[in-house]
């Protein structure tokens, strides 16, 4: 079950608001089942991953975007002295334009990029893909990936 944070960060309000705003239309449905696809795709998945990341790292994950740019990274996490960009993909399309842009801008300071998706666990150069169901093991998987680099 997906949880929403009790005290969310300010940047999480738009996503949570989308979920709450979808409730009236969800309840108006004849079968009364909550359909995740009626909420903006990805918002619940991002919150699920965030709730898994928070207890695994000392600092609360942050959000990154550039002014006047379509690029945004869902989370920045700190592992020891390293800042690691994280993208969450809830669909089968795992293209990570924002992770590529982040690498282009900060590649000399970055050891690893992480993507959560429906794909299998794999380390491809500096991109670690973690299956969504393994989000609770992200900290350990990141340690292993950094040890291999």
Please list, in sequence order, all residues whose beta carbon lies within 8 angstroms of the beta carbon of residue 10, skipping any fewer than 6 positions away: none
Burial degree of 32 (CB within 10 A; 0-12, 13-18, 19+): exposed
Chain segment 79-125, per-residue pLDDT in tens: 988 999 999 998 778 888 899 999 999 988 999 999 999 999 999 99
Residue 81 burial by Cβ neighbours in a 10 Å radius (0-12, 13-18, 19+) = exposed
Quick check: 46 and 61 in contact, CB under 8 A? no
User: Is pTM beyond 0.95 here?
Assistant: no
For the chain, the structural domain boundaries read 41-148
For domain 41-148, the CATH architecture is 3-Layer(aba) Sandwich (3.40)
Residue 14 to residue 91: CA distance in whole angstroms: 20
């Amino acid at each position: 079950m997906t949880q929403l944070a009790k005290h969310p960060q300010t940047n999480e309000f738009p996503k949570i608001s989308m979920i709450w705003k979808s409730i009236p239309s969800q309840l108006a449905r004849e079968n009364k089942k909550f359909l995740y696809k009626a909420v903006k795709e990805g918002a619940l998945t991002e919150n699920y991953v965030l709730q898994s990341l928070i207890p695994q790292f000392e600092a609360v994950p942050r959000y990154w975007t550039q002014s006047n740019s379509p690029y945004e990274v869902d989370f920045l996490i700190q592992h020891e002295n390293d800042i690691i960009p994280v993208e969450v993909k809830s669909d089968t399309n795992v293209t990570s334009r924002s992770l590529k842009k982040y690498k282009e801008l900060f590649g000399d300071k970055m050891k690893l990029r992480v993507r959560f998706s429906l794909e299998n666990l794999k380390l491809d150069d500096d991109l670690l893909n973690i299956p969504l169901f393994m989000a609770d093991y992200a900290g350990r998987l990141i340690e292993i990936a950094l040890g291999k680099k």
